[in-house]
Amino acid sequence: MHAFTDLATAAYCPRKLYYRRTRGDEEPPDEASEAARRVREVAFRYPELLDPTSEIPPEVEATPTQFRTRLSCARERLDREVWARLAEPDAREVFLEGKEARGIAHKLFGDPPTPSLVFAGEPPDRGVWEPQGVRAVAAAKALAWERQRPVERAFAEYPAHGVVREVRLTTRRKAAYRRAVRVAESMDGPPARVDSDGKCRACEYRATCGTRTRSLRSLLGL
């Protein structure tokens, strides 16, 4: 059985997952850090922080106006009950164990139940990053397995930026999840090296990975 974070890493960079497994690193540093925990706490304070007289915590990377505007847009876009439950979920930090994957849902709410994952980083302009989408699908599938009822969506929250995104379990997202599961299950040696270092700059294994990198000039064949 695979951890949610392992499947997200498999979707992002299989070689990174290989190094994490061979070195016995059970949890990625960004997920386990105290800074990430502090950011996640912001996701439980939405009603309070929408008050213009409240003080925006230092973990928020947007300006107060940007932060409140984005949260207000999320509140208007979402069903009223969903918004209320996001701020005060039925349960938090819930361990889910499904048929293929297990891990933590930072929030659990509603009937049928819905998981929400809270990310410390920056969201894309639209939707969610593919590895985070894979992780959201993993959480939804694990919850469906436990409760023996369909779960067709999850949420991804980026509280440092005041962004909340719905993650529907579309055919494309389910396919990305299946690819990540196959990668995680078939890994018996180091995967092929990547051709560009775009994903490597912040990787904790970069110094020992031996990833080949190429310049833009070489990639263009010049």
- pLDDT tens per residue, range 53-63: 999 999 999 99
The C-alpha atoms of residue 43 and residue 163 are separated, in whole angstroms, by: 10
- Pair 62, 135 in one domain: yes
- Pair 47, 99 in one domain: yes
- Pair 130, 206 in one domain: no
Structural domain for 206, as ranges: 192-222
- Tally the residues of the chain: 222
pLDDT at residue 49 tops 90: yes
- Pair 77, 151 in one domain: yes
The tens digit of pLDDT for each residue in 178-216 reads 999 998 888 776 666 666 566 777 777 777 776 554 444
Look at residue 221 in the predicted model and tell me its pLDDT: 43
User: Which CATH number goes with the domain that contains 148?
Assistant: 3.90.320
Token pair listed for 29? 């540093």
Instruction: Count helices and strands (H / E) in the chain.
Output: 11, 6
Domain count, the chain: 2
- Pair 99, 64 in one domain: yes
In this prediction, residue 15 has a pLDDT band, given cuts at 50, 70 and 90, of confident
The tens digit of pLDDT for each residue in 110-146 reads 888 999 999 999 999 999 999 999 999 999 999 999 9
